[in-house]
Structure 1
Amino acid sequence: MPLSSQQQNSVQSDKPVWFFLICWTVLNLIQAYTLELHADEAYYWVYSRFLDWGYFDHPPMVALFIRAGDSIMHNELGLRLITILTSSASIYILWLILKKYAVDAWAFILVVSGTLIFHIYGFTTTPDAPLFFFAVLFYYFYQKYIDEDKWSLALILGVIIACMLYSKYHAVLLVAFTVISNIKLLKRPSFYLIAVLALVLYMPHILWQVNHGYPSINYHLYERSAARYNPSNSWLYIPGQLLMAGPIISWFVLYSAFSIKIRDAFTRCLLVNGIGTFIFFFLSTFRGEAQPHWTLIAFAPLVMLALIKFKQANTSLTWFYRAALINMTIIVLFRVSIIFSLPFVLQIGQIKSYFGFKKWAHVVQQKAGNAYVIMDNGFQDPSKYDYYTNTLKGFSYDSRYYRLTQFDIWPIEEKMRHQRVLHLIDSPNTATTDSIKTKNWSWYVEWVDDVRTYQKVKVETTIHQLKLHSGEKKDIDLTITNPYPYSINFSNIGVKHEVVFGACFFRNDGEILLQRGDDSFNNISLKPGESTHFTFHLIAPQKGKYEMMFSIRTTPFEGSKNSRVIDLEVE
């Protein structure tokens, strides 16, 4: 049967989109193969070595993406392969959604290719990549579900929402804003199938959070909040979003998207999600930094709304297409300059961090041999060491001056117990025996014999806030729990590395005070899973407001974060 004129036009309009997708995929493949890993990507690779229902920072979907690609080939391309494929699939799905609105193919290509954040996550594998893919898939099936209240579509949407939630917690925003945009959904019986199915499928992650003491909730809602408001977080937010939307065309794309005339429930959904997401993360700048890429899920509705508005306006946009072509050319040339490692690119801070770690990791491994390597305060370098040596011998010692990470959950610390480890530090001391110098970094080496650390030991109290006078004494009852699968003790008799238990007082002005517990702490011995009580005789420091926590320090390390923060006000 011959195609109708409408079908022929549709096939014809698909041709430039398919050509664009081929170019898009090839560019991402080359970029992925030639560019070293971002630190976050290496961290998520270590996730993939310990597959689980959850992790300290994020849900597990990114680990599955990486595990699938890395099982094919252990190189940068393998790690990023699934992201590249889903990026191309996402763009094509966006096109399928927009065909209902008769959007021009060349306008689609110019706007998508000019959106900088799509380029970044066309190959970069972080939780944002799977979230974006499943979000676009959600919009595709939700568009159908609006018109057809089918149980089959409800089942598909329930699975997709669960996948979004398994990708990144930001998915909650998309779900909430979609319901807000169409309250009539609550009248559909099939809507409750979507909700129940998504919840049931997500239950393993919820149980993981419960069993691990809600680490992600505590980190994202409490620990990540800044102690005081930093105005630069707010006024840098808007320029960051404009850059992500395209350095030249962003202002017009945003204007077009948010001035659209709403004519159906789907475009209303896009508008509420776009505006809602941007406003939500702007408001979050009053609590701390909102990184530009956190709004990635807002750019799918942004691009769709702008293209639909172009069609609604039905006016000549020749000037915009010329600007968009220049915008796209700038981005592509910049990406090509990264592929060829042109000198000016290597001077840019964010880009510079992609280069040199492969060589660095092998230089460190030559020093360490088969020994574990401990680095202080940061998951980035240990993760890159692990990836580029294809081992799990790198470990992050997250001290009381840093934050907790997934390294405080993985069973790496247990395997180092009583071994000789190499400790990499950034400045020399009396114990350093050697140094490692590469083009960009200098590290100093100290060997630690018979290492013992207590990162996972839990110190708990029922007190969350204290108000004392300077010099006032207060006895605090602490519960100390051994989470390890072996017995531990804190004795300093006959051991090389002293253990010290104490309270740390952190003040907003950066001053840190320490108070040591009495020596009876060193008499504690605990079997696996066993707990005991210990009384800490606190003496209130000088007047001020503090964040207080309890820490176990073993030389030569700085001491770990073993308790929750207690708000202390000293009058």
Structure 2
Amino acid sequence: MRASDASCNHSKRLWPPKWRKKIGHSRSAAPELSRSQMCSRGSFTDWTHQASGRQAPLLFLLVLCCLTAFHLWFIHSGRFNLAPDEAHYWTWSKRLDWSYYSKGPMVAYLIALSTRLGGDTEFFIRLPAVLLSTGTAVCTFVLADRLCRSTWAGLQAVLALAAMPLAEAGSILMTIDAPLVFFWSLTLVLIHRALTTGGNGRWLLAGIGLGLGLLSKYTMAIMAPQIFLYLLLSRQHRFWLRRPGPYLALGVGLLLFTPVIYWSATHHFVSLRHLLEQLGGGNNSVIPLKSAGEFVASQAGVVTPLLFLILIIGLWEVGRTGLARCGDDTSLFLLCASAPLLIVCVITSLWTKVQANWAAPTYIAAAVAAVAWRQSASAHRNSGPSAWRWTRSRTLFVCALITGFLVSAVGHFPHALAAVGLPLPRKLDLTKRLRGWAELGAQVNAIYEEMSHNGPTFVFSDRYQVASEVMFYVAAHPATYNIQLGRRMNQFDVWGGTDKVRGWNAVFITDRPDPPEPVLRSFDVVQSDPLTVPSTVGPMHRLRPWFIFRCYKFRGFQPARQLGY
């Protein structure tokens, strides 16, 4: 037997017979994407005792409502202050523009819309994140259902996504990843719809999704080569490369991205310089294999090890079946919709530090791939060795979900462990940066109000995170600046504006016990005995304190040399 025939036979044996059907090519209409044998209806029977397919959408709605209600309650509870990035994006929303130094404008637009409706509160800043995460869950359900022809597969994919601490954090924190992941999942659904139904209108909608994703985060740009890679490899849908649909989607996406290009061009291409420095390593010095290992470990951490293992197995399985000579087209779609971004992140980590959240969009299609692997094992659960494979996949999946939800629960309620004498070590407490800002803001607010009685006063810091947090938590939301003492550029440098506050008094916040020399030269008088504010981030963890200085009669500031973008 030839190797190619063996490969085809293996692909046929892998999936249930009822899904082995060929879908003929049609030049007049787009052929329907192969609904993979991987996802057979009823494979959720280990949990539902062969419940009817009509129950899955109802259970999905129940899960969706419970998750959304919990997220709304949590952001209303005020358990965590705004993360530094959230506060920084809120400052963007107060100065709407076509784009910003390091990111597109979508996060600022969404925060601006929400806070205009409900006010500048933690709840309304984070409300878009909750709504977007709900939308992401809907898109994931639809994607899995359409690819697998199984609403149970959709429910499992949503549960897998919800069990990831990374996704859970994105459901309550309003950062750029919330709109990115939503528009990524929406675009996948729209592209799949365009492939299966044809028509330029579907591709137009996919292009809009692509463009909105680009306005959220530049990571969305990899969506285009991923889809063109799929079209190139897919025998069934390769003909789309000779039709206008995909190019229409790409053109619409770029058209929506034009304002960002214009803004960057009128600001010395600082966004491009920042991106290239991030991808090129900038001032970072890394050990290639060590850095790559740290990135992979970070993925296991933010997804949880068991669930990460299942996702990798799922990607491996869709890779085997999708790239085989008689490969399954659905498997190929899932592979191309997820693996390239993860591979790019791993390769990039060889020469620069890659943040754990950069690969977040990967896990939309990867969750569906993991469910597909489970479903294929379920379809053979009564056939000898495959029965063990099914039992193993079921056990892994259930344990992964339980572990993921438990880890997320600890993240939501870290004090619960401290209450029973098991406080999280400081290195593992990822919520430590979400506490203490309101207390710092209250102290600054008291000093700011006192000094404001004697003349106009502004607030500044040597860190943009502190400047952003204080601007939010001081009641009057005063003019706030981040001085350049020798650091990388940020949005405060783009705004500038310290010249217009010459002669004003100021409140300076830093983690240094003594004010830097450039600050001393910039004022007639700088108070020598600052107010010390302890920075408490938990019952067992105390970081270095903040020091608040009163400064009088601003003369102007001479910025230090900028250290990169």
When the two structures are superposed, what TM-score results if normalisation uses the length of structure 1?
Answer: 0.74
Query: What do residues 396-422 of structure 1 show as CA deviations (whole Å, max 9, x unaligned)?
Result: 11322x111000112542432332222
Contact kept? 2:230, 2:332, Cα under 8 Å: yes
Matched, 1:66 2:117: no
Task: Tell me what 2:83 maps to.
Answer: 38
Which stretch has the larger CA shift, 384-393 or 124-133?
A: 384-393
Q: Does 1:236 align with 2:294?
A: yes
Does residue 405 (structure 1) correspond to residue 479 (structure 2)? The answer is no
SS of structure 2 residue aligned to 1:421: strand
The equivalent position to 1:29 in structure 2, one of 50, 66, 72, is 72
Is the Cα contact below 8 Å between 1:245 and 1:299 reproduced in 2?
Answer: no
Correspondence list, 1:116-515, <5 A: 116-183=165-232, 184=238, 185-222=240-277, 225-231=282-288, 232-260=290-318, 261-262=321-322, 264-313=328-377, 314=379, 315=381, 316=390, 317-338=393-414, 342=418, 344-345=423-424, 347=426, 348-369=428-449, 370=452, 371-376=457-462, 378-389=463-474, 391-400=477-486, 402-425=487-510, 426-428=512-514, 431-440=526-535, 441-453=545-557
Secondary structure (helix, strand or coil) at the match of 2:360 reads helix
- Higher mean C-alpha deviation, range 410-419 or range 146-155: 410-419
Question: Counterpart in 2 of 1:497?
Answer: none
Q: 1:77 to 1:266 in 2, by over 3 A?
A: farther
1:212 CA drift (Å): 0.4
2:140/2:158 contact within 8 Å kept: no
Question: Equivalents in 2 of 1:341, 1:9: separation in Å?
Answer: 40
User: Given that residues 386 and 394 in structure 1 are in contact (C-alpha distance below 8 angstroms), is that contact kept between their aligned partners in structure 2?
Assistant: yes
Q: Give the conservation status (yes or no) of the 8 Å contact 1:226–1:287.
A: no
> Cα offset for 1:564?
7.6
Partners of 2:562 and 2:374 lie apart in 1 by 56
Shift of 1:444: 4.2
CA distance in 2, matches of 1:52, 1:346: 41
Give a deviation string over 1:465-501, Cα, whole Å, max 9, x none. xxxxxxxxxxxxxxxxxxxxxxxxxxxxxxxxxxxxx
Name the aligned partner's letter for residue 161 of structure 1.
Answer: L
What letter is aligned with 2:125? L
Of the three residues 122, 127, 150, the one matched with 1:76 is 122
Q: How has the CA–CA distance of structure 1 residues 159 and 414 changed in structure 2, closer, same or farther, with 3 Å as cutoff?
A: farther
Greater relative contact order (CA < 8 Å, ≥ 6 in sequence): 2
Structure 2: distance between partners of 1:338 and 1:58: 31
- Distance (Å, rounded) in 2 between the aligned partners of 1:266 and 1:322: 25
Secondary structure at 2:64's aligned position in 1?
helix
Return the alpha-carbon distance in structure 1 between the equivalents of residues 302 and 412 of structure 2. Answer: 18
Shift of 1:90: 0.9
Residues 9, 310 of structure 1: alpha-carbon distance in 2 compared, 3 angstrom cutoff? same
Supply the AA of the counterpart residue of 2:303.
A
- CA-to-partner distance for each residue in 1:372-429, whole Å, 9 max, x for gaps? 11211x21110001111251422111322x1110001125424323322222331225
CA distance in 2, matches of 1:219, 1:234: 22
Provide the C-alpha distance between the structure 2 equivalents of 1:70 and 1:345, rounded to a whole number of angstroms: 34
Equivalent residue number for residue 99 of structure 1: 145
Describe the shift of the 1:124–1:283 C-alpha distance in structure 2 as closer, same or farther (beyond 3 A).
same
Residues in 1 aligned to 2:514 and 2:189: alpha-carbon distance in whole angstroms: 57
**Equivalent residue number for residue 25 of structure 2:** none
> For the structure 1 residues 386 and 19, does the alpha-carbon distance in structure 2 shift closer, same or farther, using more than 3 Å as the test?
same
| 8 Å contact from structure 2 (residues 162, 168) kept in 1 | yes
Q: Secondary structure at the match of 2:283?
A: coil
- Count of residues in Structure 1 that have an aligned counterpart in Structure 2: 454
Unaligned runs of 5+ in 1: 454-553, 566-571
Q: Does 1:560 align with 2:560?
A: yes
Cα deviations across residues 61-88 of structure 1 (Å, max 9, x unaligned)? 0111211222213221110111101101
In structure 2, do the counterparts of structure 1 residues 268 and 451 end up closer, same or farther at CA, with 3 Å as the change threshold? farther
Go from structure 1 to structure 2 and tell me whether the alpha carbon gap of 1:127 and 1:333 turns closer, same or farther (over 3 Å shift).
closer
Which stretches in structure 2 are left out of the alignment for 5+ residues? Answer: 1-40, 43-50, 233-237, 382-389, 521-525, 536-544
Larger deviation: 108-117 or 270-279?
108-117
Paired residues of 2:307 and 2:397 also in contact (CA < 8 A): no
The 8 Å contact of residues 45 and 79 in structure 1, kept in 2 or not, is answered as: yes
- 2:45 alignment partner in structure 1: none
CA distance in 1, matches of 2:167, 2:286: 30
Deviation digits for residues 137-171 of structure 1 (CA, Å, limit 9, x no counterpart): 00111111111221111211121111011000001
Greater fraction of residues in strand: 1
Residue-by-residue CA offset, 1:74-115 (whole Å, 9 max, x unaligned): 221110111101101111121111113144356335422322
User: Is the CA contact (8 Å cut-off) linking 2:502 and 2:553 kept in structure 1?
Assistant: no
CA distance in 2, matches of 1:318, 1:201: 44
CA distance in 1, matches of 2:459, 2:310: 50
Instruction: Tell me which moved more, 128-137 or 283-292.
Output: 283-292
Higher mean alpha-carbon deviation, 167-176 vs 440-449, is at 440-449
Aligned identity (percent) is 19
Tell me the SS of whatever aligns to 2:431: helix
Cα 1:122–1:158 change in 2 (3 A) is same
User: Match of 2:508, SS?
Assistant: strand
Equivalent residue number for residue 534 of structure 1: none
Give the AA of the match of 1:259: E
Distance 1:186 1:339, change over 3 A: farther
